[in-house]
């Protein structure tokens, strides 16, 4: 599938573009989805990919999951359980594999000898 915003190739089942983050409208009669498994996200991660993985599993925006987790942390009673829950999820949830095109992206390293 091609992203309508940045014109890059993304997986057919993607709800969001890995590169620009724009929402993709997948037709309901699109390709059948494989059985969903709860995994830490390899592409939508800030710390360990737990919130990104939960968002991918429930097919919602990861920002909503992250905001819900921050609200749980800010409440006085579940402060410790929220951190323990995140840490346990980090240990228990397997990490999802990188999409093949994301792993093959060329890395551009600036040349320190050239002045700008």
Nearest residue to 82 via CA among 44, 50, 58: 50
DSSP 3-state of 103: helix
**Highest mean pLDDT: which range of 2-6, 35-39, 92-96, 105-109:** 92-96
Distance of alpha carbon 107 from the chain centroid? 20
Counting residues of the chain whose pLDDT is more than 70, the rounded percentage is 77
**Residue 93 confidence class, pLDDT cut points 50, 70, 90:** confident
Q: In terms of pLDDT, which residue wins out, 45 or 111?
A: 45
């Amino acid at each position: 599938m091609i992203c309508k915003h940045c014109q890059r190739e993304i997986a057919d089942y993607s709800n969001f573009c890995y590169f620009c983050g724009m929402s993709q409208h997948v037709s309901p009669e699109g390709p059948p989805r494989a059985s969903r498994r709860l995994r830490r996200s390899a592409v939508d991660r800030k710390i360990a990919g737990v919130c990104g993985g939960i968002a991918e599993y429930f097919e919602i925006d990861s920002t909503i999951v992250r905001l819900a987790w921050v609200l749980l942390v800010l409440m006085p009673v579940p402060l410790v359980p929220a951190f323990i829950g995140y840490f346990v999820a980090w240990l228990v949830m397997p990490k999802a594999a990188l999409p093949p095109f994301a792993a093959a992206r060329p890395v551009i390293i600036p040349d320190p000898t050239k002045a700008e």
